[in-house]
């Protein structure tokens, strides 16, 4: 009996060790599962946190797009915005326009707090969101749109024949047929000035309202660039630009060339050779009798019935729908719709 008892006691110890090892493995597995569950929950929480930070940064970037607009920058130029801190996430953002009507918003979110459960998460995420840009609704129904009288001397040319292939748009750029002059109730003056006044068409009440709405939109989007009464230095910056002058009377002295949108919130006098590719908008009267004004695009002038558009013998107005649309694209703003291409960083 003594020998049997000793044998039983000897076999109990290994069995106890095996049971304890199994319990240890089970406990370790349970602890590992709990750790992984906590890590997954922390990762999901941090993913939601960073997505909220990215969305908040995108909302603020769109809201401040007018001040961050790319009107003075070429395509593909990045405009960086101030960093935004949302909870423990710092977001850097930059606008980049790759097309006149498409802007990309680059977002880079990085945590400035503790790493979190497990200590293996990389607290960073990058995204690129593309926004369609909406230009202001400005009618382009004639090379010259004026609410009041239009006068011109012999030699002035107003051509409504759009080019089959614009130098700025590849391929044919379709545009509806338009009259040379779209004026108010007063026909272009002839006689001692023009031997034969150009063809014109009276504005309808709807067209008058659209022109007035266009002025409201344009003035709200284009910041005032300068208040000088006389601009002598060339403003021929490369690329498409938008510029606005708020003065009672502005004098442009050539030679100079402008490509894009040029807004004069007052009277405009042309002195010398001035070329505009795009859109020329003059709130009051336009006097080009002594200058050489050449516009490839369209001109919108006059706000009061007493204002007059006076063209000299060297004035050349050529209708170009492509150049006009590109000029308005310089002040296009993001639409409400957005599609995003996301590039997740490690750890999310």
Band of residue 192 on the pLDDT scale cut at 50, 70, 90: very low
Q: Average of pLDDT values for 283-309?
A: 85
Beta bridge partners of 339: 130
- Number of helices followed by number of strands (H, E) in the chain: 3, 22
> What gap in Å lies between CA 245 and CA 217, rounded to an integer?
16
Query: What is the rounded average pLDDT of the residues 125-138?
Result: 88
As a whole number of angstroms, the distance between CA 134 and CA 141 comes to 19
Q: State the Cα–Cα distance between residues 253 and 277, nearest whole angstrom.
A: 17
* Tokens describing residue 204: 């309808």
- How far is CA 283 from each of CA 73, 212, 230, 247, 335, rounded to the nearest angstrom? 26, 10, 17, 10, 27
Going by the DSSP 8-state scheme, the letter that residue 247 receives in this structure is: -
Mean pLDDT is highest, among 120-124, 162-166, 174-178, 328-332, for 328-332
Tell me: pLDDT of 268 over 90.
yes
Do residues 147 and 308 make contact, with C-beta atoms less than 8 angstroms apart? no
Strand partners, 79: 95
| pLDDT in the model for residue 24 | 75
DSSP 8-state assignment for residue 119 = G
The alpha carbon torsion through 328, 330, 335, 340 (nearest 10 deg) reads 140
Average pLDDT, the chain: 77
DSSP H/E element including 224: strand 224-226
Q: In this structure, are residues 198 and 153 in contact, taking their beta carbons and an 8 Å threshold?
A: no
**For the segment 62-104, what is each residue's pLDDT rounded down to a tens digit?**
888 866 666 666 777 888 888 888 777 888 989 888 888 888 9
pLDDT digits (tens, 9 = 90+) for 217-263: 898 888 776 666 666 555 656 678 888 898 889 999 888 888 889 99
**Alpha-carbon dihedral sign for residues 216, 221, 227, 229:** negative
Who contacts 255 (Cβ-Cβ below 8 Å, separation ≥6)? Answer: 234, 272, 273, 274
For the whole prediction, is pTM greater than 0.85? no
Q: What is the widest separation between alpha-carbon atoms in the chain? A: 144
* pLDDT grade for 344, boundaries at 50, 70 and 90: very low
pLDDT of residue 1: 53
Burial 104-113 (b: 16+ CB within 10 A, else e): bbbbbbbbee
Q: Which residues contact 93 (CB under 8 A, 6 or more apart)?
A: 57, 58, 61, 80, 81, 84, 105, 106, 107, 108
Three-state DSSP class for residue 309 = strand
What is the band of 343 on the pLDDT scale with cuts at 50, 70, 90?
very low
Give every CB contact of residue 7 below 8 A, 6+ residues apart in sequence: none
For the chain, the distance separating the N- and C-terminal CA atoms, rounded to the nearest angstrom, is 67
Strands 333-343 and 124-134 come out as: antiparallel
The full DSSP string for 191-208 is SSS-SSPPPEEEPPHHHH
pLDDT of residue 299: 93
Tokens linked to 307: 């204002």
């Amino acid at each position: 009996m003594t020998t049997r008892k000793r044998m039983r006691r000897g076999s109990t110890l290994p069995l106890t060790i095996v049971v304890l090892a199994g319990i240890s493995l089970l406990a370790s597995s349970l602890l590992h599962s709990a750790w992984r569950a906590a890590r997954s929950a922390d990762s999901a929480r941090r993913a939601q946190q960073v997505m909220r930070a990215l969305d908040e940064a995108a909302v603020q970037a769109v809201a401040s797009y007018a001040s961050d607009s790319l009107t003075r920058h070429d395509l593909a130029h990045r405009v960086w915005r101030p960093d935004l801190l949302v909870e423990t996430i710092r977001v850097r953002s930059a606008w980049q326009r790759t097309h006149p009507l498409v802007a990309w918003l680059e977002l880079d979110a990085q945590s400035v707090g503790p790493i979190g459960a497990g200590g293996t998460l990389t607290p960073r995420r990058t995204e690129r969101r593309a926004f369609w840009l909406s230009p202001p609704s400005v009618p382009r129904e004639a090379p010259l749109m004026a609410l009041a009288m239009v006068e011109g001397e012999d030699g002035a040319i107003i051509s409504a024949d759009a080019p089959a292939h614009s130098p700025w748009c590849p391929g044919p750029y379709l545009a509806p047929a338009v009259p040379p002059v779209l004026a108010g109730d007063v026909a272009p003056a002839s006689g001692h000035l023009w031997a034969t006044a150009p063809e014109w068409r009276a504005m309808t009440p709807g067209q008058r309202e659209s022109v007035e709405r266009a002025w409201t939109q344009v003035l709200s989007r284009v910041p005032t660039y300068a208040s000088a009464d006389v601009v002598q230095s060339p403003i021929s910056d490369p690329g498409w630009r938008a510029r606005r002058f708020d003065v009672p009377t502005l004098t442009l002295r050539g030679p100079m060339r402008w490509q894009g949108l040029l807004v004069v919130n007052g009277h405009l006098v042309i002195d010398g050779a001035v070329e505009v590719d795009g859109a020329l908008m003059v709130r009051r009267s336009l006097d080009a009798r002594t200058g050489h004004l050449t516009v490839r695009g369209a001109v919108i002038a006059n706000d009061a019935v007493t204002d007059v558009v006076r063209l000299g013998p060297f004035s050349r107005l050529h209708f170009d729908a492509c150049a006009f649309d590109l000029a308005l694209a310089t002040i296009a703003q993001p639409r409400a719709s957005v599609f995003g291409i996301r590039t997740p960083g490690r750890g999310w």
